[in-house]
Amino acid sequence: MKDHAVISGVGLTKATSPRRQTMSKYELCRLAVDRAIEHSGVSRTDIDTVIIGDIAGFEASSVSAKTIAPHLGLSPMTTVIPISTGGTSGGHLPNQAATLIKAGFAERVLCVAPNTFDGPVDLQAVINTNSPMIMEQPLGMGASHMGAFFPGAYQDAYGISDEDLMMVATKNRADADFNPYAHVNSTLDDEHADRMISTPLRLGMTCPVSSGAIALVVTAEGLARTESPNPLVRISAHGSISDGYLGGKRRDFSKFEVVEIMARRAYRDAQILNPLDELDVAELFNPLAPMEYMLMEAFGLCEYGTAPQLVKDGTTRFGGTLPVNLSGGIVCTNPGLAGQIAPVAHVALQLMGQSVTRQVEGAKRGVAHSAGGTFFQFHTITLMERVA
C-alpha cells in the first residue's frame, strides 16, 4: 500500500582513522544496523528490503552489499539492493527507500552506509583515478586540485578572503567538539590546519579519511505510528541531479548551479518558498569547508557571494536562524558512504529532538545533501519534516 516514508531509526558509530579502526566492515555495519533497528522499534524480521551503498572503484571488493548483507541478521530472502553512484551513494539510500515505500513496493527498508575508505593504503591515489582518464587525468589533476577549482573561483568572483575560507572550517571543527561521533575537531592544531594542499585549500579545510558506519530504518508512516517510539520524520521531498562528466560543463566554478536546479525542484515538492525562514536545520555535504558557503547560496539561503556574512553574524551557527552543519560536517568526518548519509542521519535526529550534537529546539524541517563524482557532478537532496 502506498504511504509516506518516515525515518524511524538511526544508528551511528564513532568515526576514527582507518588505521585505528578495530572493527571489521561487517562488524561496523552490524553495530550501526543493530542501533538503527533498536532505535526504530521495528522488528528485525520485518525488514523487507535492505539497500546498501558502496563506491566499488575505491574499495577492496566489488559490490560489497553481497558480503555485508549476510552479516546483518536479516530474514532469509530479504531483498538486497546495491547502489553505487560515488559520493552520492549514501544520499541515495534513504531517497530510494522512500520511493519504494511511497510506491507500496516496500514497508520497512534498512539503509546501510558502510565505511568505504578503509581498504586502500593510499586512498588519495585511488580517488585520483576517478577523474576523466582521457581529458583530465593526463593533466595531473587529482581530487584535491579539482576541489580547489571551486573555492578559487569563489574567491575570484566575490572577493572572498583566505581568512573567510578558514573561518567556516574553524566553525565546523568547533561544532564537531559537540559531536561524539566526529573524527576531527578543534584539537587540530593551527600548524596542521594551515598547511597548503592545493591553493586556496589548506589541510584544515579538507576532510580526513575516516572509518565508521551509519544505518537508517525507513518505514511506511502508517506502520511507524504504531511501532516507532520516536517522533515521525517524514521524507517530504527528495531528488538528485547529474551535471556533465567533464569539468567544462560546470560553466562557472564559483557556483553549484545544478544544486540550485535540484533544490528548486525539491522545494517545489515540499512547498518551501523561503528556505532560510522555513528550514530549521541543514546539513550540507562539505568535504571541503568552503563548499558550505557555496552550497548555502545554491540552496537559496542567501544571495551568491554573501554566505560568509551569515557565518559571521551567526545566522548559520548554533542559536542562529538556520544552523548549518552542526555535526561539524563532512570536513570533520568522512567515512565514505557513512559520510554521505550522515547529513540525513543528523537532520533526522534533530527533527526527532534527539540530536547527538547540540539540539536545535523545536526543529521541524530540515535539509540534507550529498555530493560526489568528478568536479562534484552528482548531488542529492533529502527534505525532512517532523509530522504530528
Binding-site ranges for another protein (CB under 8 A): 2, 54-58, 60-63, 65-67, 69-70, 76-86, 92, 96, 99-100, 102-105, 126-127, 129-130, 132-133, 239-245, 258, 261, 372-374, 377-378
In whole angstroms, the minimum distance from the beta carbon of 268 to another protein comes to 12
Report in angstroms how near the CB of residue 370 gets to another protein at its nearest. Answer: 12
Give the DSSP letter string of 11-23.
Answer: EE---B-GGG--S
Residue closer to another protein by CB (options 4, 346) is: 4
> Please, what is the minimum distance in Å from the beta carbon of residue 128 to another protein?
10
Closest separation in Å from C-beta 85 to another protein: 5
Which residue's CB is nearer to another protein, number 37 or number 127? Answer: 127
Instruction: Report d(CA 109, CA 131) in Å as an integer.
Output: 33
Pairing state of beta strands 196-198 and 201-202?
antiparallel
CA–CA separation, 146 vs 167, rounded Å?
A: 21
Which CB sits closer to another protein, 39 or 92? 92
Q: How far is the CB of 246 from another protein (least distance, A)?
A: 9
Count CA within 13 A, CB hemisphere, residue 337: 36
Residue 77 vs 163, nearer CB to another protein:
77
- With 0-12 CB in 10 A as exposed, 13-18 as middle and 19+ as buried, what is 76? exposed
The DSSP symbol for 381 reads E
Residue 83 or 215: the one with the smaller Cβ distance to another protein is: 83
Question: To the nearest whole angstrom, how small is the minimum distance from the Cβ of residue 26 to another protein?
Answer: 9
Q: Which residues pair with 214 in a beta bridge?
A: 12, 113
Residue 267 has which C-alpha cell? Answer: 522545494
Spatial distance between the Cα atoms of 181 and 218, rounded to a whole number of angstroms: 21
CA-CA distance, 272 to 279, in Å (whole number)?
8
Beta carbons of 313 and 354 less than 8 angstroms apart = no
Q: Cβ closer to another protein: 170 or 240?
A: 240
Which residue's CB is nearer to another protein, number 105 or number 229?
105
| Least CB distance to another protein at residue 151 (A) | 22
Record the cell numbers describing residue 277, joined without a space: 525562514
Q: Are strands 232-242 and 378-387 parallel, antiparallel or unpaired?
A: antiparallel
Q: How many other C-beta atoms lie within 10 A of the C-beta of residue 282?
A: 27
CA distances from 83 to 47, 97, 283, 377 (A): 18, 11, 22, 17
| CA–CA gap between residue 179 and residue 326 (Å, rounded) | 8
Nearest distance from C-beta of residue 206 to another protein, angstroms: 19
Min. distance of Cβ 363 from another protein in angstroms? Answer: 26
Of 274, 307, 313, nearest to 292 (Cα)? 307
Between residues 120 and 320, which has the closer beta carbon with respect to another protein?
A: 120
Cα–Cα dist 277/262, whole Å: 19
Beta carbons within 8 Å of 134's beta carbon, 6+ residues apart = none
Name the residue nearer to another protein (CB basis): 7 or 182.
Answer: 7
